[in-house]
Structure 1
Amino acid sequence: MARTRRRRVLRWVAWSVVAVLLLAVGGTLAWTQIGVMDAEDGPLADARGNPLITIDDAAEGIVLAPADGTSESGMVFIPGAKVDPWAYVPVLQGVAEQGTTVVITRPWLNLAFFDLRELDDFTSAAPEIDRWSVGGHSLGGVRACQLAADAEALVLFASYCAVDLSDTDIAVLSVSGSEDGLSTPTKIDDARDLLPADAELVQIDGASHASFGDYGPQQGDGTPTISREEMRETVTELVAPFVQG
């Protein structure tokens, strides 16, 4: 009798654990799909009409390339948490115009830390290119830091590393915004010691966290005072020559 009771208790405990795990997994999956910030239609439509670049919705990601096919460098770019990858096409189009192929990834479950793919899973979109940089916005930048060992250079948009790269010789460009309410200037400064001593840190006056993509305002962010056009021009001026080496 006691043995039968113990079996029932153990069975109940086992099913309870299974139920909790299923609820946790289901809740996590649901959370990753709720609140995804979509790309704004106007800026994306303008980028699609840019005659100086091509845009390919490829298996590896969204591939931006110079229309004349003269690309000799590439950059894999990882979006921020729950941000539509297409939201980065407008701000990165200038980098492609200047001769760099850009592969914007589609993180699994819309979150970069769930995406365990390696850099070559994305660089395969343009196998003819030998020089690759890796970059990312916000959480995407944190993931980019983890992939930096396989790249020539690292580009951070409103982000910082959670791994120590201070003893590496990788070239780093960290671009942040003075009005960022999420990756604040203080947070950027506090993580500076994780980057190489010669890392280049640039703060764009008037830029907010969401200024690095075209997906609308973001909760908790500051108010940008820089125009979209000036932001894109500034990003192009900073990033294009850096990733070309």
Structure 2
Amino acid sequence: MTAAQKAVPALLRRLQHTTLILLGSALLGIIVMFAWARVTVPAEPESLVALDSDDSVIVSRGDWISFRPRDIDPAVGMIFYPGEKAEPAAYGPILHRLATDGFFVVLAPMPLNVALFAPNTARRVMDDYPAIRKWVLAGHGIGGMAAAIFASRHPEDLSGLILWAAYPTLISDLSGAPWPVLSIAGSLDVISTPNKLAATRTRLPEATRYLEIPGADHWGFGNFSSIRSTATIPRDQQQLQAIEATEALLSEFDRDHGAP
């Protein structure tokens, strides 16, 4: 047997060993991804009530969850992107309240509950509601980042942008945006911190409206369970201030006719 022939079995063993390592790594990666995909920030069970229709709001559930005020034929709508790994139902109470006050809102669930995987979801929502003439896009946390990505790519499709505890990423320069931008954040947010928001202001228009809610945290914009809050104010108070600021921007458009 020649030296070359003797080397073949050793080479095959090394290839087999390498293949097993690669397969094992791939399998481990799949297991980790599956486990990560199952992790969510859960909604409070009580928040599910807000996903039902009542005397003031018609709630429809399909690909999207829409909140339509009764007795109003709206021409202006707000699309909402949930936060990172957040169960969409957690935003039911605050979005239902917006609809109770007369605003049409569409909550857009995301793949694996991560809006960055589908920043262009707003386009599909718009296609499903052709009667809406003007759209404002909003998002919480990573949902706000994804909203900013869509807004920077398709400014002609929007009439405004609302960021809850969120800021634009490096690929989202909105400094020249032709429509109003509202940024609402908590002073005690340890995820979208005040410093992070301040560092990204150059990516937003000079006329951006900022509201920092004293004592508010990151997760108080939704009704979440199993969250360690850093807030020093009640969640209801944080949400009320967010609602009032959001409605102030939406009110600049005629709800029935879509005109500024």
> Structure 1 counterpart of 2:182, which letter?
L
The change in CA–CA distance for 1:70 and 1:206 in structure 2 (over 3 A counts) is farther
Corresponding position of 1:58: 62
User: In structure 2, what is the Cα distance between the partners aligned to 1:191 and 1:87?
Assistant: 27
Corresponding position of 1:242: 249
* TM-score, with structure 2 as normaliser: 0.83
- The structure with the larger Rg is 2
1:231 CA drift (Å): 3.2
SS class of match (1:71): coil
User: In structure 2, what is the Cα distance between the partners aligned to 1:110 and 1:72?
Assistant: 28
Alpha-carbon contact 1:73-1:99 (below 8 Å) kept: no
Mapping of residues 62-73 of structure 1, within 5 Å: 62-73=65-76
Alpha-carbon contact 2:221-2:235 (below 8 Å) kept: no
Corresponding position of 1:169: 178
**176, 197, 203: which one aligns with 2:212:** 203
Unaligned runs of 5+ in 2: 254-260
Alpha-carbon contact 2:57-2:69 (below 8 Å) kept: yes
Corresponding position of 1:93: 96
1:24 CA drift (Å): 1.3
User: In structure 2, what is the Cα distance between the partners aligned to 1:154 and 1:95?
Assistant: 16
**19, 25, 28: which one aligns with 1:20:** 25
| CA displacement 1:121-142 (0-9 Å, x = unmatched) | 1223422102111111111111
User: In structure 2, what is the Cα distance between the partners aligned to 1:197 and 1:217?
Assistant: 38
Corresponding position of 2:166: 159
Corresponding position of 1:223: 231
Between 80-89 and 46-55, report the one with greater CA deviation: 46-55
Between 172-181 and 98-107, report the one with greater CA deviation: 98-107
Alpha-carbon contact 2:175-2:203 (below 8 Å) kept: yes
User: In structure 1, what is the Cα distance between the partners aligned to 2:44 and 2:120?
Assistant: 27
Unaligned runs of 5+ in 1: none
1:102 CA drift (Å): 1.2
User: In structure 2, what is the Cα distance between the partners aligned to 1:29 and 1:115?
Assistant: 19
User: In structure 1, what is the Cα distance between the partners aligned to 2:249 and 2:103?
Assistant: 10
User: In structure 2, what is the Cα distance between the partners aligned to 1:123 and 1:44?
Assistant: 25
The change in CA–CA distance for 1:46 and 1:144 in structure 2 (over 3 A counts) is closer
User: In structure 1, what is the Cα distance between the partners aligned to 2:127 and 2:81?
Assistant: 15
> Structure 1 counterpart of 2:70, which letter?
A
The CA RMSD over aligned residues, in Å, is 2.2
Q: How many residues align?
A: 241
User: In structure 2, what is the Cα distance between the partners aligned to 1:231 and 1:48?
Assistant: 23
**102, 110, 132: which one aligns with 2:113:** 110
Alpha-carbon contact 1:63-1:125 (below 8 Å) kept: no
1:164 CA drift (Å): 1.8
Note if 1:194 corresponds to 2:203. yes
> Structure 2 counterpart of 1:225, which letter?
I
* TM-score, with structure 1 as normaliser: 0.88
Corresponding position of 2:257: none
SS class of match (1:65): strand
